[in-house]
A and B are shown apart, each in its own frame.
Chain A
């Protein structure tokens, strides 16, 4: 995967994000989150909103990096701030609170279509993650492998089970996840 940035530091941080390196994530928090909290609080939000938003932004950015070549035409700090602003305005629109500060006219970069798609769905994604976390450990493992397109026979081998059993468990786990998502009142609002 090719990452182009204006500054070497930014490239290292993005590589750290892709590798889920705790030191890189910590630096992103130290360097960027205070400004995001400040801006969200000026726009009808709380510190907790900003923290949730920041995590959604980093996961969306992670997914975008996974999808191939990525070129940053401004600093990483600016870019994450732009993502967060986009996300927050989307959230406010979803909550029918549209009196947010409009985005500045002078923006250094625009998220590309791929990333915009991630941002548009990010609240739904957060909801999916939340219900996924509520599943049992074995369910999470089976589904994680299944979504990664690991064949059922291979999942069975890794867990020391039969393919038929894994197929049945996979269905039960997915059914449980889908039911929980559909029963969540936020899901209707976000659809």
Chain B
């Protein structure tokens, strides 16, 4: 059979455009022909994968976002050797240009150091209010909560973050788990992982940790050097709300 005819036959079969007789004959041929089965599968997968203009539009948006999106600096491990690609080189060039312009205004070393010290002075992990449950088996929710609370109480924040994240994933209705997961990430030195969780907590607005989440999100931004966003949140903290004095102190630095 000529190749165009074979393609035509496969396409008509996949689109259910054959007569019953043609279909029976094709299925019979298919049952004893491994190469034809492979060919049919490839045609079917190509059609399924590539069909629709919208998926191609989405891929273009994904490509563009991926090209311009940069991983937050704090997400890189300490001392890790990272290869530099074109994306990083362009990003570094742009950042350097910005630094040259704004050095005197914003980035004097003494000022950065002041800000880091201010973060260190203001940040403290939220007290543990969850009950310490019995249980050794971390495949159960009770055991996992025990592990999470233990790790948090003994300042093993990386382990606490992992355990609380799993709890938060399994019980999205319990905002406390997400809150402690985020505080643990911040305490473990990962503000970029903490910030999305605090943002999510602020969007829920139906739990006990709203005010605290605003405060910690401000600290997460601060730690990442996103001072404008941090200050905007700090200004939202009103007299009588948790951390008002501390927020004023940071704004008046």
Query: Chain A: residues with CB nearer than 8 A to chain B?
Result: 6-9, 17-18, 20-22, 25-26, 29-35, 37-38, 41, 47, 51, 55, 58-59, 62-63, 66, 74-75, 77-78, 81-82, 104-108, 121, 124-125, 128-129, 132, 140, 143-144, 147-149, 171, 174-175, 177-178, 181-182, 191
Contacts and interface: CB of A to CB of B under 8 A. Distances in A.
A121 B172 contact: no
B104 to A, nearest CB: 30
B63 to A, nearest CB: 8
Contacts of A41: 77
A17 B190 CA distance: 27
B49 A148 contact: no
A6 B58 CA distance: 25
A35 B45 contact: no
Of the listed residues B4, B50, B199, B203, the one surrounded by the most CB atoms of chain A closer than 10 A to its CB is B50
Contacts of A29: 65-66, 69
Contacts of A140: 56
Interface string B42-81: 1101110111111111111110111001011001010000
Secondary structure of the B side of the interface? helix
Given A37-B75, A149-B15, A174-B7, A107 B170 contact: yes
A55 B7 CA distance: 31
A10 to B, nearest CB: 9
B69 A108 contact: no
Given A75-B200, A129-B49, A108 B169 contact: yes
Given A25-B61, A128-B46, A144-B50, A34 B172 contact: no
Contacts of B192: 34
Interface string B157-191: 00000000011111111000000000000000010
A25 B68 CA distance: 12
B141 interface: yes
A37 B200 contact: no
Nearest to A147: B51
Contacts of B140: 106
Nearest to A133: B59
B95 interface: no
Nearest to B62: A55
B71 A106 contact: no
B55 A59 contact: yes
A6 B207 CA distance: 14
Given A20-B61, A37-B71, A129-B50, 18 more contacts: A17-B58, A22-B61, A25-B61, A26-B69, A31-B200, A33-B69, A38-B193, A51-B66, A59-B55, A59-B58, A62-B55, A81-B169, A107-B169, A148-B53, A149-B51, A175-B3, A175-B7, A178-B43
B169 A30 contact: no
B46 A106 contact: no
Contact of B169 (A26, A78, A121): A78
A181 B43 CA distance: 11
B179 to A, nearest CB: 13
A25 B62 contact: yes
A104 B62 CA distance: 29
B139 interface: yes
A143 B60 CA distance: 17
A187 B15 CA distance: 25
A147 B54 CA distance: 12
Contacts of A6: 172-173
A105 B138 contact: yes
Contact of B45 (A8, A34, A124, A149): A124
A149 B171 CA distance: 43
Contacts of A31: 196, 199-200
14 contacts: A9-B200, A25-B65, A35-B193, A55-B62, A106-B167, A121-B49, A125-B45, A129-B50, A144-B51, A144-B56, A148-B53, A149-B15, A171-B4, A174-B46
